[in-house]
Amino acid sequence: MSSTEQPDLRTAVPHAIPDLTGPHVHDGETLHDVSLAGLTLSVRARPPARRGLPPALYVHGLGGSSQNWSALMRELAGHLDGEAVDLPGFGGSPPPDDGDYSVSAHARAVVRLLDASERGPVHLFGNSLGGAVTTRVAAMRPDLVRTLTLVSPALPELRPQRTAVPTALLALPGVTSLFGRLTKDWTPERRTREVLALCYGDPGRVAPEDFHVAVREYARRLELPYFWDALTRSARGLVNAYTLGGQHSLWRQAERVLAPTLLVYGGRDQLVSFRMARRASAAFRSSRLVALPEAGHVAMMEYPDVVARAFRELLAETSERSEQAVKGA
């Protein structure tokens, strides 16, 4: 496990705002659907810079989509053949036929996608809820994972931050309806500002044109008949996962992960406490910890160049270890 690193963030380039479930495609990206039994997943792909690059899969957080990873996918296009999935009920993926939004169900969706595409083992990335999902995937199916990169993973906290409590309350019956009534007069602009204030360390980094795109996407997601249900059930699934003990505990599964792991935590994260970085670095047996003091909950969007550099260092270290193992065989 490496010591905590604090890169210079002053030269990092600001990138787009958190996804708001729209199918916006950045230059060079494509979208396609993968149909599985009882499940259809929308997948965003960015062609690699050259053939033969190792595959990667990116998994977003609660309320997000594959678009959350566009900036990092672009940064790593010279090193990875990247795809990002919309979890069931988010982005371009419709709800699952069985209505199961548990962490385990989301993990099964990721595993089924990897098995169907035959792309594994992959470099697996997860943010927030996606961090919990990918931790479970890496623990249960180590054959599918080369490395694991977790950005503010939603792993159980005994004392969550006060700013994270409203999101957790979405899991309670009736809260979503109450929130809808209390905010019925909010404009898409206000809703977008609230999301940015919660997710970014510094919302002022978001460019005006990106903000306008976010507003349009937010307005559209409110028209999706299943959006609030998917959000509520996924939040409930995450809270339920926090209560599981034994071999199903997310922390117990973190200890079982064999893949080299990169952990990225933001000092201004209002949803996942920065203090959890130390516990996570101790739980994952082969981990590197990168602390970004100015970042919020979505460091891969705020500082994609810094996160990409940290991953490239992990990749180089992993490659060196593999070469040494071959020579010693």
For residue 327, pLDDT over 80 is answered with no
Arithmetic mean of pLDDT, 285-297: 96
Measured distance between the N- and C-terminal CA atoms of the chain, rounded to whole angstroms: 24
Tens of pLDDT, residue by residue over 112-126, are: 999 999 999 999 999
- Contact between 132 and 126 (Cβ < 8 Å): yes
Whole-prediction pTM: 0.88
Tens of pLDDT, residue by residue over 51-71, are: 899 999 999 999 888 989 999
Residue in 72, 74, 83, 79 with CA at minimum distance from that of residue 44: 83
Instruction: List, in order of start, the domains of the chain with CATH numbers.
Output: 30-328 (3.40.50.1820)
For residue 271, pLDDT over 80 is answered with yes
Residue in 147, 154, 72 with CA at minimum distance from that of residue 319: 147
Q: In the sheet where 287-292 sits, what is the strand order? A: 30-36, 39-46, 81-85, 55-59, 122-127, 145-151, 261-266, 287-292
Segment of 153-167, 238-252, 256-270 carrying the highest mean pLDDT: 256-270
Cβ within 8 Å of residue 322, ≥6 positions away? none
* Distance of alpha carbon 156 from alpha carbon 55, whole angstroms: 29
- Contact between 39 and 109 (Cβ < 8 Å): yes
Give the pLDDT confidence score for residue 126 in this predicted structure: 98
Arithmetic mean of pLDDT, 97-117: 97
For residue 79, pLDDT over 70 is answered with yes
